[in-house]
Structure 1
Amino acid sequence: MALSTDEHAAVTRLEQKLMDVEPTLRALHAYYEGEQRLRQLGLAVPPSLQQFLTVVNWPRMAADGVEERLDIEGFRFPGVDEADDELWRIWQDNNLDEESQLAHLDALIYSRSYICVGANEADESTPLVTVESPFELVHEMDARRRAVAGALRLYDVQNGRAQRGTLYLPDATVWLSWDGSGGRWVDVDRDDHRMGVVPVVPVVNRARASNRGGVSEMKDVIPLTDAAARSLTNLQVAQETHVVPQRFVLGATAGDFVDQQGKPLTKWEAYFNSVWALANEQAKVGQLPAAELKNLTDTVDHYARLASGVSALPPNYFGLAADDAASADAIRSREARLVKRCERKQTAWSGAWEQAMRLVLYVATGEESVEARRLQTLWRDPATPTRAQQADAVVKLAQAGILPREGAWDDLKYSPARQERLREQFRRQTEEDPVGVLTRAAGQVA
């Protein structure tokens, strides 16, 4: 079945957009994986020195350092203190504990990732929620409504051409197949869901009013990584050619270099020979002093400090051991910018996950939930305080009368099952305590 004129135009437009961003995505992928090479930086490296090429993978650190502190713990409806059990069941059934990490990491690397929501043929009560890569999926926005106007996913690539695709529109999802003979996309199936909203939610990193597409978290670190890679490669070459004292010979030819039996050396220019024998008495042998490489190591440390500054990662993440904090307060101070940056990510990405959960409720019930408009995402504290710090804060609040005992359990993140076990243990403890028995008896008499 042929696509309508509007659908064909949307596919053509989105497919071109996906092709346009692919080179940028591949370059970011190479930097994250540490696969970029100095020849890509415009440096002419002789073949004999290729083995000395060194790449420092700071871009991965810039992305992973933030992603490691972003964990979702549930979703809460307005006026409710606890996370919603049904939404969390759907979350768990879709393995989103693991998949959400992939969405966050791809957004940090490539500037965006996607959450797709749809019906689940195997279990109608559990909508299907998947995380998609920006290599396969692209979207376009309705600028006035600040909502996704359409999205296209292309996959099953053969000989450089995607063979299948999915077009997401506000009122329909269309499954496509590439007709090689006709050179066009054809409609093989469709779901006219009439939701009025595209079931695709972009997770965008560093979005701005002037750039809703976002920016990679690695962008500021990449130029410094290139500079450090140059210095490290120079350091490797210098280590081989200048650290070991260089020897020189004046007034000699190749035939003057002989072994202990007087036979000429096959490689008279051999670099690591421990003993040289010269047949020419007039030849002079000397040695040049070894080079000092501290200027190169200091340069790399300088780049590391600059990378720490632009990425908000503490200096010790970049191997600057001299900057290790000496106390807990110093550690918290050093991580303050990183924690605040993670909190900003949580605020920005809460909207994406809440929109995805609203779609989940719509697919599951067929109705729009008014309460879900004010859904709240619950995140783990990005500061990751130690268990002792958490317990100390809770104890102080309880001692001051601000928190009751069960409120303290909530702040310590005890599960409902464990809280119930604790209630039973406290009850038995009170019953077995003679003082407790007498206290209760006195109370009954009074």
Structure 2
Amino acid sequence: MAVSREVSDLLEQLERELQQRVNDDTRYDAYYEGSHRLERLGLAVPPEMEKLETVVNWCRTTVDSVSDRLQMRRFYMPGEDQASDDLLEQWDYNNLDSEAVLNHQETMILGRGFVSVGANEADPEFPLIRVESPREIVARVNRRWRRIDVAARFEPGEDDLDPTAQFATLYEPNSTTWFERVRGQWTEIDKDEHGLGVVPLVMFLNRRRVGRWDGSSEMKDVISLTDAACRSLTNLQLAGETHSVPQKYVLGMTKGDFVDKAGNPIPAWEAYFNSIWANANKDAKVGQFAASDLKNFHDTVNHYAQQVAGITGLPARYFGQTSVNPAAEGAIRADESRLILNAERKQAMFGDSWGWVMALSLRFRTGDWVQGSRIKTEWYDAGTPTRAQTADAMSKLYANGQGILSREGVWDELGWSEARKDRERGYLESEARITLTALEKDVAEEV
């Protein structure tokens, strides 16, 4: 069905807004994947030496080191002390343990991420929660009310060589409409009048600032230092192939003197790398220069690594700055303090967005509306305590049932899932029955 001029103009405007992000998105994607070429860095590399180009992917380290610590534990409904089993079912049904990782990574790479919620015709009890590609979605935020007024997703067709969007999805507060581009014009192919009153799309932003709704890439501060390290490492490769080998010189010989026993000319590189040169020219002189010291390259790269560690708050060992002796347990925790705080801030920001996602899921499932800001999220500890540290701390807090934590509380602190706790309860009940049976037997024997 043909669309109105108003809808067509809206789609064209949103598509242009998305196209304005393409260059930055492509650049950030290339840096995360480590696929940016050195010619973009202004480094002149001879064609025969292109194989020596070296890329150090500190950008991926910067992103993954934080995203690896963002693991969701459970949700709490407003006013409830127990974790919500319904929300956990929604989470598990949509494989969000793995999909959430992708969303967190994309949000930190590009500065923004999106999750959509929709009805599930195959199983209405479990609405579909999908992590969307931020490179395909553009959203307009109402700055006054701080909500998305309208959003659109643009997808290319099956032809990989044609990047032009062939399909579009328009998200509005009371409807979701699907379009296809036919002969250059958008045509409506389906529509869902859901009547939610809000756009069924939740936006995640990385490093959001007040009054801004675009986010910032986690890699932004380290890209220039990564480029500098790539230059130094590539120069090190080139120097290693040439200057690290002592340069030789020969005086009083001609090209015709470099022949084998059969009188055949010796290739230049074979003659150069030959450890012993022998000739019959008594006036010829052979010698070598001192080899170059490449330590300056090592120091330079190490300096860049320390700068990146200082900017990101990641431990220097994440960038290859290791000591001979491993750090003690307490020192590891202290060394990661800034990394842990960064991860905890992201848990707070992303947790609010996941709360709105689960609120939308409940809306589709039950028809009831719960404010997403009132659904609380709980995450696993962003730190890296060792097993020994955790066991020692929990034993002191439990203190054989006389401490400040209950047995169930200890299980929570250990990060056990509900299924794991149910299994442990079964084990304890079985042990209690065995103990009771043994006691009854002893009493019977005494009698």
Write out aligned runs for 1:307-318 (5 A): 307-318=308-319
| Secondary structure, aligned partner of 1:322 | coil
Structure 1 pair 264–384 and aligned structure 2 pair: CA distance change class (3 A)? closer
Once the two structures are superposed, residues 296-315 of structure 1 have per-residue CA deviations (whole angstroms, 9 ceiling, x without a partner) of 01101111111111122111
Equivalent position of 2:51 in the other structure: 51
1:324 & 1:224 partners in 2: Cα distance?
28
State yes or no: 1:175 paired with 2:178.
yes
Amino acid at match of 2:406: P
Aligned counterpart, 1:395: 395
Q: Deviations 1:352-373 (Å, cap 9, x if unpaired)?
A: 1011111101111223136x54
- Alignment of 1:165 with 2:129, yes or no, is no
Q: Which amino acid aligns with 1:132?
A: E
Is 1:60 the counterpart of 2:63? The answer is: no
| Partner residue in 1 for 2:203 | 202
How many residues matched?
A: 435
- Distance in 2 between residues matched to 1:395 and 1:133, nearest whole Å: 45
CA–CA distance in 2 between the matches of 1:128 and 1:62? 31
CA RMSD in angstroms comes to 2.1
Residue 290 of structure 1: CA displacement?
A: 0.4
How far apart are the structure 2 equivalents of 1:343 and 1:298?
Answer: 33
More moved, 429-438 vs 151-160: 429-438
- Residue 404 of structure 1 is matched in structure 2 by 406
Unpaired runs of at least 5, structure 1: 439-446
Equivalent residue number for residue 350 of structure 1: 351
Judged with a 3 Å threshold, the aligned counterparts in structure 2 of structure 1 residues 179 and 268 are, in CA distance, closer, same or farther, namely closer
Q: What is the 5 A alignment of 1:43-122?
A: 43-122=43-122
Q: Note the alpha carbon deviations across 1:408-440, whole angstroms, 9 max, x for none.
A: 3333344341243144135325523539998xx
With over 3 angstroms needed to count, the CA separation of the structure-2 counterparts of 1:256 and 1:189, relative to structure 1, is same
Give the secondary structure class of the aligned counterpart of 2:273. Answer: coil
Residue number in structure 2 paired with 1:442: none
Q: Tell me what 1:424 maps to.
A: 429
Q: Is the 8 A contact 2:236 2:297 kept in 1?
A: yes
CA distance in 2, matches of 1:213, 1:225: 24
Which aligned pairs between 1:238-317 and structure 2 lie closer than 5 A? 238-267=239-268, 270-317=271-318
Q: Using the alignment, how far apart are the partners of 2:304 and 2:40 within structure 1?
A: 20
Give the % identical residues: 46
The answer for unaligned runs of 5 or more in structure 2 is none
Deviations 1:311-334 (A, max 9, x none): 221111111112865311111110
Letter of the 2:360 counterpart: L
Q: 1:279 to 1:262 in 2, by over 3 A?
A: farther
CA distance in 1, matches of 2:179, 2:324: 56
Query: Separation in 1 of the partners of 2:434 and 2:410?
Result: 19
Q: 1:323 to 1:38 in 2, by over 3 A?
A: farther
Look up the SS of the partner of 1:278 in the other structure.
coil
1:200 deviation in Å?
A: 0.8
Alpha-carbon distance in structure 1 between the residues aligned to 2:325 and 2:163 = 49
Aligned equivalents of 1:346, 1:323: Cα separation in 2 = 34
Q: What is the deviation of 1:403? A: 2.1
Equivalent residues in 2 for 1:362-401 (5 A)?
Answer: 362-369=363-370, 373-399=373-399, 401=403
Tell me how far apart the structure 2 counterparts of residues 331 and 49 of structure 1 sit (CA, whole Å).
41
Contact 1:171–1:196 at 8 Å: present in 2 too? yes
Separation of aligned partners in 2, 1:389 and 1:84: 30
Q: Which moved more, 1:48-57 or 1:257-266?
A: 257-266
1:244-271 Cα distance to aligned partner (Å, 9 max, x none): 1110122332123232455543538843
